[in-house]
Amino acid sequence: MELPVDDRHQGRLTKDGIRIHDPSDFAGMRTAGDLAARILDAIAVEVFPGQTTAAIDDVITRMVEEAGATSATIGYKGYQHASCISVNHVVCHGIPGAKVLKDGDILNIDVTVIVDGWFGDSSRMYVAGKLSRKAERLIQITHDALFKGIEAVRPGNTFGDIGVAIQSYVEGNRMSVVRDFCGHGLGRVFHAPPNVLHYGRAGTGAILEEGMFFTIEPMVNLGRPETKVLADDWTAVTRDKSLSAQFEHSVGVTADGCEIFTLSPGGRFHPTWGG
Ligand code: MF3
Ligand code: CO
Ligand code: CO
């Protein structure tokens, strides 16, 4: 018998409304996360000067279909694409379209897929053509900031510990952390409690427990942290037009740390890695 959607949820909620998943739920997240990661690996060859972001998104749509999976973003709050593609000063939620990539453009591609009801959400940076020194430094700091956050994921630590790890690293490198967008719980849903802030104070916020699933997805600006949303009601840009970068993994808290569900099978998570 097919259960009503809410009854498929196992485990319990914490007092902060954060779902504690069962050990058996990790397998579903692993499969969904792996598909998101394989799509992000395979899309790298589609990023080059002269290419449109719509063409990249078309290939992603096809890859999701061919995998027998579902895009989490098509139809989400009226969004119509299988990815968000955020170029240069676009912070996040860039809409794929007729925009033609030019040499030196940096872009985040964010893909969320649903496999057997589980959500895999990941994004990475890519470059069209040659990577400039300043963009390379921004991308490196953003990537490393994500991993500072991931290193703080273990039972007993708090969400504030994740935030402060990211913020202190980014600001120590004289860049800024975007405050207007955050990571999120996920699992059999796209966006669930908690809001995973990429800034904060040590020891504050909810305590991490084994079985929590969430994303960490810091956005880092070369200039000031403020953003604004364009008239399309989706595209978020830096107010000062400075370059912005983002990396995102979906993770699950384990007994002694975390499992990253969206690791790149090809070792291509960073634009200068892999072949
Ligand atoms: N994948 C994004 C995230 O990391 C959400 C995109 S929602 C969309 O949470 F509708 F803009 F695609
Ligand atoms: Co996300
Ligand atoms: Co995402």
Q: What is the pLDDT of residues 71-91, one digit of tens each?
A: 999 999 999 999 999 999 999
pLDDT at 274: 83
* pLDDT average, residue stretch 158-167: 98
Answer yes or no: is pLDDT of 266 > 50: yes
Ligand 1 neighbourhood includes 57 CB (under 6 angstroms): no
- Measure 148 CA to ligand 1 centroid, in angstroms: 22
Ligand 1 neighbourhood includes 110 CB (under 6 angstroms): yes
Confidence of residue 5 (pLDDT cuts 50, 70, 90): low
Which residue's CA is minimally distant from atom 12 of ligand 1? 73
pLDDT at 1: 47
Mutate to test the pocket of ligand 1, among 40, 57, 60, 73 (most ligand atoms within 8 A of CB): 73
- Measure 256 CA to ligand 3 centroid, in angstroms: 25
Residues with CB under 5 A from ligand 2 (ion): 121, 215
Confidence of residue 11 (pLDDT cuts 50, 70, 90): confident
pLDDT tens digits, 211-249:
999 999 999 999 999 999 999 999 999 999 999 999 999
DSSP assignment of the chain equals: -PPPGGGG--SEE-TTS-EE--TTHHHHHHHHHHHHHHHHHHGGGG--TT-BHHHHHHHHHHHHHHTT-EESSTTGGG---SEEEEETTEEE-PPPSSPBP-TT-EEEEEEEEEETTEEEEEEEEEESSPPPHHHHHHHHHHHHHHHHHHHT-STT-BHHHHHHHHHHHHHHTT-EE-SS--EEE-SSSSSEEEEE-SS--TT-SPBP-TT-EEEE--EEESS-S-EEE-TTSS-EEETT---EEE-BEEEEE-SSSEEETT--TTS-SSTTS--
172 C-beta neighbours (distance < 10 Å), count: 10
Which residue's CA is minimally distant from atom 3 of ligand 1? 121
pLDDT at 3: 47
* pLDDT average, residue stretch 102-131: 98
Answer yes or no: is pLDDT of 8 > 60: no
Answer yes or no: is pLDDT of 118 > 90: yes
* pLDDT average, residue stretch 37-43: 98
- Measure 112 CA to ligand 1 centroid, in angstroms: 7
- Measure 211 CA to ligand 2 centroid, in angstroms: 18
Share of the chain above pLDDT 90, in %: 95
pLDDT at 43: 98
* pLDDT average, residue stretch 3-15: 68
Ligand 1 neighbourhood includes 34 CB (under 6 angstroms): no
Answer yes or no: is pLDDT of 184 > 80: yes
Confidence of residue 275 (pLDDT cuts 50, 70, 90): low
Ligand 1 neighbourhood includes 217 CB (under 6 angstroms): yes
- Measure 154 CA to ligand 1 centroid, in angstroms: 25
Answer yes or no: is pLDDT of 7 > 80: no
Structural tokens at position 106: 């940096």
